[in-house]
């Protein structure tokens, strides 16, 4: 077993090591083989001064302060690719990268666009800086009307945790409306928190703002406690990840599923409603926080395969090796910074892969991805007529809703 060089007395590296030891499986960092696989698989590893394996080498050498002098840690999009591939099963994304970002925040070394998103999250309860009062506006006009728990004051079977982008982003609204129509067609008894819902906080946590994450989680936890429901379903893999793995440590514990998981369990009920053919070659982009972080690979594909006329094709990077859209872990709020460093966008790489797979439609199941891939498709010449759609939109189309 290799240990940190602490022969010159207490150092920053030593205290950083100690803090990692306190995290789940954090001690495994000492089993690093220095194989470099993590750095090789990292989509932005080539522009990082200290990709994961070099960070660990710096930690061992007792010079971790050098890592924090570089700002390229902000190229990490928390995609879990390094964690997935590490032969020593070191929690690189959850422990090493997130702790390093926490130190950067403490030192005040934060790109301005990320700082703005964090301040908006603190002030308004969402990174877009929108008013909480507008959180349910997307649902206006849907029939039957969507139950807002604070108004209806009645128990529901399912609490739909909608999420930030599905609530506020004009393009992602369409996905929320499609999913609401699918839920209604299935006769589900569901409601939303509307103005009482705030950001799940997971991306803020992964960007190093643990305190802000806890504040947002506790606010959501208090809202959950006001109502009666049996389970939570969410349209956002980041919210799913937070509610499943992070909220329980704060005493906020409810059964939770991503909507693709929830609907797959109702395929028998759903299939007879999928009457209209969608004659297209569709490729599915595995979101990092549905796939690598939570192992849900088959459910989205089962839903797509149930649509008549649809042919599923796979991209080169698929399932465990899926290529991040670039939006996770704060990446959504670091586009300008990352463009300056890398002069490329991960979303554009992914659009090229969808084209190479011969797809007409790039299907997604994460609200970050829709606007990212649509923007990327406009920038990639060979994207031609490639369309980006959420699985919920494709289901609604096949159900003629
Ligand atoms: S992949 Fe794992 S074992 Fe290999 S260098 Fe990275 S952290 Fe170390
Ligand atoms: S989580 Fe993704 S972006 Fe971050 S270091 Fe690991 S592979 Fe690179």
Condensed to tens digits (0 to 9), the pLDDT of residues 262-294 reads 999 999 999 999 999 999 999 999 999 999 999
Residue nearest to atom 2 of ligand 1 (CA): 86
Determine the distance separating the centroid of ligand 1 and the alpha carbon of 68, expressed in angstroms.
20
Own/partner pairs, 218-223, CB within 8 angstroms, 24+ separation: 218/250, 218/252, 219/125, 220/161, 220/193, 220/247, 220/252, 221/247, 221/250, 221/251, 221/252, 223/193, 223/196, 223/197, 223/198
Q: Give whole-number Cα distances, 138 to 135, 168, 173, in Å.
A: 7, 7, 6
Q: Give whole-number Cα distances, 277 to 357, 360, 394, in Å.
A: 21, 15, 10
Q: Is 89's C-beta closer than 6 angstroms to any atom of ligand 1? A: no
* Residues in the chain, overall count: 401
**Rounded CA separation 342/346 (Å):** 10
Per DSSP bridges, beta strands 256-258 and 190-192 are unpaired
Q: What is the pLDDT of residue 153?
A: 83
**Rounded CA separation 215/110 (Å):** 20
Query: pTM of the predicted model, to two decimals?
Result: 0.95
The DSSP symbol for 29 reads: G
Q: Is 34's C-beta closer than 6 angstroms to any atom of ligand 1? A: yes
Give the residue from 44, 15, 202 showing the smallest Cα distance to 126.
202
pLDDT tens, position by position, 64-117: 999 999 999 999 999 999 999 999 999 999 999 999 999 999 999 999 999 999
Q: What is the pLDDT of residue 7?
A: 39
Helix (H) or strand (E) holding 13: helix 12-21
| Sequence-separated (6 or more) residues with CB below 8 Å from residue 48 | 39, 42, 54, 70, 72, 73, 75, 76
Q: What is the pLDDT of residue 10?
A: 52
Q: Which bound ligand lies closest to the C-alpha atom of 88?
A: 1
Determine the distance separating the centroid of ligand 2 and the alpha carbon of 52, expressed in angstroms.
8
**Rounded CA separation 57/4 (Å):** 9
Determine the distance separating the centroid of ligand 1 and the alpha carbon of 182, expressed in angstroms.
43
Q: Is 40's C-beta closer than 6 angstroms to any atom of ligand 1? A: no
Q: Which atom of ligand 1 is nearest to the CA of 34?
A: 5
Q: What is the pLDDT of residue 329?
A: 81
Which segments in the chain show pLDDT lower than 70? 1-10
Give the strands of the sheet with 361-364, arranged side by side.
311-313, 281-284, 361-364, 387-390
Torsion of CA 151, 153, 158, 162, to 10 degrees: 20
Q: Is 129 exposed, middle or buried (0-12, 13-18, 19+ CB in 10 A)?
A: middle
Q: Give whole-number Cα distances, 310 to 278, 305, 359, 367, in Å.
A: 5, 7, 11, 22
Q: Is 115's C-beta closer than 6 angstroms to any atom of ligand 1? A: no
Determine the distance separating the centroid of ligand 2 and the alpha carbon of 64, expressed in angstroms.
18
**Rounded CA separation 114/121 (Å):** 11
Q: Tell me the two tokens of residue 166.
A: 């599905």
**Rounded CA separation 200/167 (Å):** 12
- Give 188-248 as a DSSP string: --EEE-GGG-----HHHHHTT-HHHHHHHHHHHHHHHHTS--SEEEES-HHHHHIIIIIGG
Give the residue from 369, 237, 374, 371 showing the smallest Cα distance to 297.
237
State how far Cα 144 lies from the chain centre. Answer: 30
């Amino acid at each position: 077993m290799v240990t940190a060089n602490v022969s010159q007395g207490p150092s920053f590296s030593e205290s950083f090591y100690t803090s990692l030891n306190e995290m789940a499986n954090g001690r495994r960092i000492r089993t690093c083989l220095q194989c470099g696989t993590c750095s090789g698989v990292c989509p932005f590893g080539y522009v990082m001064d200290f990709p994961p394996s070099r960070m660990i080498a710096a930690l061992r050498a007792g010079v971790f302060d050098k890592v924090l002098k570089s700002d390229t840690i902000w190229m990490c999009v928390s995609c879990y690719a390094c964690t997935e591939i590490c032969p020593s099963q070191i929690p690189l994304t959850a422990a090493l990268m997130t702790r390093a970002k926490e130190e950067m925040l403490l030192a005040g070394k934060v790109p301005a666009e990320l700082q703005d998103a964090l301040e908006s999250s603190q002030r308004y309860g969402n990174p877009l800086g929108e008013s909480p009062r507008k959180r349910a506006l997307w649902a206006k006009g849907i029939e039957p009307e969507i139950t807002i728990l604070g108004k209806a004051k009645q128990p529901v079977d399912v609490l739909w945790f909608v999420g930030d982008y599905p609530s506020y982003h004009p393009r992602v609204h369409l996905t929320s409306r499609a999913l609401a129509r699918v839920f209604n067609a299935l006769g589900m008894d569901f409601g939303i928190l509307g103005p009482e819902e705030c950001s799940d906080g997971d991306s803020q946590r992964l960007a190093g703002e643990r305190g802000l994450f806890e504040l947002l989680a506790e606010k959501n936890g208090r809202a959950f406690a006001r109502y009666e429901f049996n389970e939570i379903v969410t349209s956002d893999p980041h919210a799913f990840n937070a509610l499943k793995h992070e909220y329980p440590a704060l005493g906020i514990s409810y059964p939770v599923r991503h909507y693709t998981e929830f609907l797959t369990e109702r395929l028998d009920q759903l299939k007879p409603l999928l009457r209209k053919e969608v004659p297209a070659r569709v490729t599915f982009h595995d979101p990092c926080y549905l796939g690598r972080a939570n192992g849900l690979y088959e459910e989205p594909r089962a839903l797509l395969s149930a649509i008549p006329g649809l042919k599923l094709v796979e991209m080169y990077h698929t399932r465990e090796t899926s290529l991040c859209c670039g939006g996770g872990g704060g990446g959504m709020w670091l586009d300008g910074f990352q463009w300056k460093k890398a002069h490329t966008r991960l979303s554009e790489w992914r659009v090229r892969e969808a084209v190479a797979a011969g797809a007409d439609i790039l299907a997604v199941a994460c609200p970050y991805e829709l606007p990212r891939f649509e923007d990327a498709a406009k920038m990639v010449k060979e994207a031609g007529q490639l369309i980006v759609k959420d699985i919920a939109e494709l289901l609604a189309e096949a159900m003629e809703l």
